[in-house]
Every structure is written in C-alpha cells, then in structure tokens.
Amino acid sequence: MIVLSLVLILSACSGSSDTGNVEFETGNPIAMVNGVEIFQGPYERAVQRMIAGYQQQGLSLEGEMGDTVKERIHEQVLNQMIQVEVMTQEAQKLGLAPNDAVVQGEIDSFRDHYGSDEEYQAALSDNLYSEEDFRKLILEDLSVMALFDEFVGEVTVTEKEVEDYYLELVQEAQDQIDARKAAGEEITQEQMAMMAPPLFEEIRDDLMNQLVQLRTQEKQMEYLNGLMENSDIEILIEE
C-alpha cells in the first residue's frame, strides 16, 4: 500500500499556497514519449507543488537566485515526468502495471483516510491534483515499484564494502583537515576529533543502510538509463 506515503506528501504540501478555485486544465502537449503526450497542465501543477515545497521549508525563491532555482525546478519536473512515463510504459508492456481494481483500491484507502469524500476532494484540490492526475500518480508509482522490484530487486552489500565505505569517509575527513591546514588555518585536536567520523562499530549499521540505498539507486538509474536510451523522446517546449 502506497497510500500512507501519499498522505504524507499531501499533508506536507497542504496549506502551502492559496489554490482558490483550481481549474485542472490539460493544456497543450509539451513532450512526446514513444508517441504518448505529456501535457502542460499536469506539468505546471507539478512545478507549483515543488515550488510550494521549497517555500514551506523557508527557502526564498526571490531574485536572481530564486529565478535560477525555478528554472531548475521546471527542468527537473519535466525530466521526472518523462522518466516516469518511460517506466510506466515499460511496466504496461511487460504486464507489471497494476490493473484498474488495484489502483481504485489505493484511491479508496486514501479516501478512507480522510473520512469523507468532501475532505478527500479538498485534499486533492489544495495540492493541485485533479482526480485524473491522482489516479495517474498512483498508477505510475505502482508501475515503477513493480518494475524496480522485477529488474533491480533487493540489493545487498558485503561487510568489506561497508568497511571500505567507512575508510572513504575517514579519508574525506582527513582531506578536509589537510586542506584547511594548507590554507593556513590552525585546527585544534578537539576540532579534528569533531570532524572525524565516529568509530566504525558505532555507525556500522547506519553505514550499511546508506550503502544499500546508494547501490540500489545506482542500479535503478542504470536500468532507467537503458530504458531512456531505447525510447523516442521529443521535447516540444523550450527548457
């Protein structure tokens, strides 16, 4: 069930902006993925949600720096939408995408969380999701998860890999100390001790989890890049 993560997403964004009477327009196509169109409306709403997320963290998007961040957000959102479309198509082609009943089950669970249809509709509207957008989001999330489960699977790392990862962190800390000393900065023993990572035994489990996550992301990106290379992608707007 992905409903809890979706609840967290909507709860985090809720109230971040004054949505007013939202009109969920489809708009014109902005990209083509293997002949399937990606439309302006969902794209712009996704951009607005990401901007609202930045603002809720207290980050200012004003001035030149803000404009640069907004440009990156637009680019990131478009790239993500294209990648998700590629993976969703692959899942559908391989018979791994969820059927309508599974998607509807997730929607019903989400609606039950809010207690009433009115609250459910308000949560979607407040977070710039049309019902169609939200249904597509669930379909895509489940499709991507199924695809990664099938072709990436569970990633494991050896004890030596964890130890080597720890030694890399130790070396990085030492490099920082050496760089500051080379710049003429005096560093006390106490400061050096604070810059060094804790003892291996104290953070071994955390390091293993981090390394598994890193290796999983690497395998996922490797698989995704292969799909992207074999896809026909056309951008219809200026990035």
Per residue, the 3-state secondary structure of 88-141, as one string, reads HHHHHHCCCCCCHHHHHHHHHHHHHHHCCHHHHHHHHHHCCCCHHHHHHHHHHH
Contact indicator for 157, 211 with CB cutoff of 8 Å: yes
Rounded to an integer, what distance in angstroms lies between the CA atom of residue 73 and that of residue 23?
Answer: 22
Stated pTM of the model = 0.83
Domains of the chain plus CATH, in order, are 3-151 (1.10.4030.10), 159-227 (no CATH)
**What is d(CA 11, CA 179) in angstroms, rounded to the nearest whole number?**
43
Average the pLDDT over 2-14 and give the result: 47
Distance of CA 189 to the CA centre of its chain: 40
Judge whether residue 215 has pLDDT over 70.
yes
User: Cβ neighbours of residue 123 under 8 Å, at least 6 residues apart?
Assistant: 10, 14, 114
What burial class does residue 34 get, using C-beta atoms within 10 Å of its C-beta: 0-12 exposed, 13-18 middle, 19+ buried? middle
Integer Cα distance of 49 and 58 in angstroms: 15
Per-residue model confidence (pLDDT) at position 114: 85
Q: Quick one: what percent of the chain has pLDDT higher than 90?
A: 70
**Angle 136-151-156 (CA atoms, 0-180°, nearest 5)?**
120
Which H/E stretch holds residue 37? strand 36-39
Give me 146's structure tokens. Answer: 């199924």
Query: In which band, very low, low, confident or very high, does the pLDDT at 3 lie, cut at 50, 70 and 90?
Result: very low
How confident is the model at residue 78, as a pLDDT? 96
Please report the pLDDT score of residue 158 as a whole number: 97
Question: Greater confidence, 63 or 6?
Answer: 63
Is it the case that residue 183 has pLDDT exceeding 70?
yes
State yes or no: pLDDT of 2 exceeds 50: no
Q: How far apart are CA 96 and CA 139, in angstroms?
A: 11
* Confidence band for 202, pLDDT divided at 50, 70 and 90: very high
Check whether 57 has a pLDDT greater than 90. no
The two beta strands, 233-235 and 36-39, are unpaired
**What is the token pair recorded at 81?**
């939408």
Indicate whether 145 pLDDT > 80: yes
Q: For residue 60, is pLDDT > 90?
A: no
